[in-house]
Amino acid sequence: MSAALPLPSENAFGQLVRFWRTTQGLSQAQLADRVEAAPRHISFLETGRSNPTREMVLRLAEALQLGERDTGTLLISTGFTHEPSPLNLHAAENRALKSSLGMMLKKHDPYPALILNSVGDVLLCNRSWLAMVQFAGLEEKFNQPGANLFDFYFSEAGLRQHIANWEDLACFLLLRIKEQHLLTGNPKLAELSTWLQAYPGLPANWAKRAMGAHSLSLYDIQYQTTEHEEIFASRTLVTGIEPERNAAIGELQLHSFFPLNPATEAFWGKFSDLAIHSHPLLHTYSLER
């Protein structure tokens, strides 16, 4: 999860409006004319004597010719939530971002790592994640269109059968998703929360069980296997990525796995030997020339 947003400074909205107005070389009267308001109202907004409606914030952003990121900043400065338009990581304008993410995933080998969108759909992964999926015999499940990490954790056909601490993990992940939904009002997160709560075996008191989590940016997994006597365990760091946008939660998430003991480190070290060279979700990157 991305770091908590800092609290807006006193009259942050008014200061931002004044900053962008002067950057554009507009007087209060000229800006007022563009948004069909009285110059006195613009003055009151800039000094904090009046609070804007969401509609007025958007009208001001349009009048000031702000892009999506700066419009989001303006909305957040007034306490309004901002949901950016869906990001197409494979679009031409996002080539540099995709390439950079690919390099990051490659550098994380031989430990698994993935890039997700805000609702857990897998957008990119590294070879080690594919190797772990292959070792668990779950290629068919993961290769289905729209692979979702949370479904992969919660489903009996996914990793759930291999996770010894599944109840604790499920409670933690569901609380994290629920809080993100309540924070952002994202209807897709509400749908995901409802979907995951319908999975059988989820403790009825899942929210209370997860309340003791010290960090919403880390979660541990203990793996159970009948083929090895060693106890395998990993820790996952969740990092929010904001690709030139602005939202309360990073639109992209990096889930990077780290071994918690020598047995896991040695086992994952062998993943780099597996011949996995192509997959629709395997990272790609190219150096800009």
Q: Residue 182 maps to which CATH number?
A: 3.30.450.180
Q: Is the pLDDT of residue 83 over 70?
A: no
Measure the CA dihedral 226/127/146/240, to 10°. 100
Q: 275-289 pLDDT, tens per residue?
A: 676 788 887 655 554
Q: 153-208 pLDDT, tens per residue?
A: 999 999 998 999 999 999 999 998 988 887 777 788 899 999 999 999 999 999 88
Are 124 and 142 within 8 A, CB to CB? no
Q: Is the pLDDT of residue 272 over 90?
A: no
| Residue 211 placed within a domain | yes
Q: Do 49 and 129 have their domain in common?
A: no
What is the helix (H) or strand (E) element at residue 237, kind and residue range?
A: strand 232-241
Q: 37-52 pLDDT, tens per residue?
A: 999 999 999 999 999 9
At 229 the pLDDT is 66
Higher-scoring residue by pLDDT: 93, 99? 99
Q: Do 124 and 233 have their domain in common?
A: yes
Question: Using 50, 70 and 90 to split pLDDT, how confident is the model at 246?
Answer: very low
Q: Provide the mean pLDDT of the chain.
A: 84
Mean pLDDT of 93-101: 86
Q: Is the pLDDT of residue 234 over 70?
A: yes
**Residue numbers of the domain that contains 57:** 12-77
Q: What are phi and psi of 223, to 5 degrees?
A: -100, 135
Mean pLDDT of 99-126: 92
Q: Do 136 and 267 have their domain in common?
A: yes
Q: Do 67 and 181 have their domain in common?
A: no
Question: Using 50, 70 and 90 to split pLDDT, how confident is the model at 85?
Answer: low
